[in-house]
């Protein structure tokens, strides 16, 4: 188990952990029924916080932010000298967590995506982990919910008896959701994005050799160029440029906290 603490990557706190440590923290919170918001961030996710002060405060208010992308894992090595055996890939974290929860007799609630994706995702999860309990599921409304709707959603999830929630709304909507519902639900919330579509079989994953080489972004760009070109063509080079500035100590990026304060390099 590896847990080397939380460290700043462009002002966003990233936890230098492996799968075992991440799953252990999530399952412990589920058993204790306490708030524990989790996000798996790739370059795009880090940049949404880096470029938006309000969103940075949300991300730094989550309990666990894991390095979903290989470049984020490499950034921890470059900036802080921290070596991890692998990234903590959201889709894999989803399966490892589901397996552990099934073994503990815990249940999950699925929130986000489309109804047909949820049904296939839940079917595949139950087939893979027969002991896993699906407490309920609810498709995304694909719009901003009102405070009244938020309260109703929270009540439905609590009434289901779920031990944790898997959220698939895409970045950054799912991180906003995890932050806003954290204390409404008081159970772990995992913002795992494309894991819903990947494990439902409605979206193909990049070959492993491309994932290992940090080229998953290119594979996804070829599959959805109109939707993703701005994310990758514009943000990836900017990430590398700003990362170089931080590594060379030419710029320090403030870590923005939920209470509105800012601290220089709070996480290392």
Provide the token pair at 262: 């800012």
Comparing CA positions, the residue from 23, 18, 22, 79 lying closest to residue 46 is 79
Query: Taking residues 207-222, what's their average pLDDT?
Result: 87
Q: What are phi and psi of 226, to 5 degrees?
A: -65, -35
d(CA 123, CA 134): 9
pLDDT more than 90, % of the chain: 74
| pLDDT given at position 204 | 83
262: left (phi over 0), alpha (psi -120 to 50) or beta: beta
Structure confidence at residue 259 as a pLDDT band (50, 70, 90):
low
Residue 264: its pLDDT value, please?
Answer: 52
CA dihedral 73, 230, 224, 98 (to 10 degrees): 40
Q: What pLDDT does residue 268 have?
A: 45
Q: What number is the average pLDDT over the span 129-155?
A: 92
CA distance 20 to 60: 22
Domain count, the chain: 1
Residue 263 pLDDT more than 80? Answer: no
Q: For residue 267, name the pLDDT band (cuts at 50, 70, 90).
A: very low
Residue span of the structural domain in which 96 resides: 3-264
Closest CA relative to residue 18, chosen from 94, 77, 83: 83
Choice among 80-89, 147-156, 206-215 with the minimum mean pLDDT: 206-215
Instruction: State which H helix or E strand residue 137 sits in.
Output: strand 133-138
| CA–CA gap between residue 218 and residue 43 (Å, rounded) | 13
Whether 15 contacts 66, CB under 8 Å: yes
pLDDT tens, position by position, 86-95: 999 999 999 9
pLDDT in tens, 166-176: 999 989 999 99
How do residues 222-247 score in pLDDT, each as one tens digit? 888 888 887 888 889 999 999 999 99
């Amino acid at each position: 188990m590896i847990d080397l603490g939380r460290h700043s990557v462009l002002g966003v706190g990233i936890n230098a952990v492996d799968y075992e440590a991440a799953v252990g923290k999530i399952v412990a919170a589920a058993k204790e029924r306490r708030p524990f918001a989790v996000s798996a961030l790739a370059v795009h996710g880090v940049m949404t916080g880096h470029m938006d002060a309000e969103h940075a405060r949300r991300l730094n208010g989550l309990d666990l932010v894991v390095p979903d992308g290989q470049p984020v894992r490499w950034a921890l090595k470059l900036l802080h000298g921290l070596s991890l055996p692998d990234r903590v890939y959201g889709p894999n974290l989803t399966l490892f967590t589901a397996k552990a929860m099934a073994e503990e007799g815990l249940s999950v609630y699925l929130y986000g995506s489309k109804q047909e994706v949820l049904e296939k995702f839940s079917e595949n999860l139950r087939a893979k982990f027969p002991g896993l309990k699906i407490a309920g599921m609810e498709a995304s409304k694909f719009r901003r919910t009102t405070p009244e709707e938020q309260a109703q959603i929270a009540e439905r999830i609590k009434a289901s008896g779920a031990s944790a929630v898997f959220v698939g709304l895409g970045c950054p909507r799912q991180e906003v959701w995890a932050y806003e519902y954290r204390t409404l639900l008081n159970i772990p919330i995992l913002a795992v994005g494309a894991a819903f579509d990947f494990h439902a079989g409605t979206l193909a994953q990049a070959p492993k050799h491309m994932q290992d080489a940090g080229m998953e972004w290119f594979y996804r760009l070829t599959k959805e160029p109109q939707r993703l070109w701005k994310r990758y063509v514009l943000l990836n080079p900017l990430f590398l440029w700003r990362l170089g500035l931080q590594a060379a100590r030419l710029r320090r990026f403030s870590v923005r906290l939920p209470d509105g304060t800012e601290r220089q390099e709070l996480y290392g």
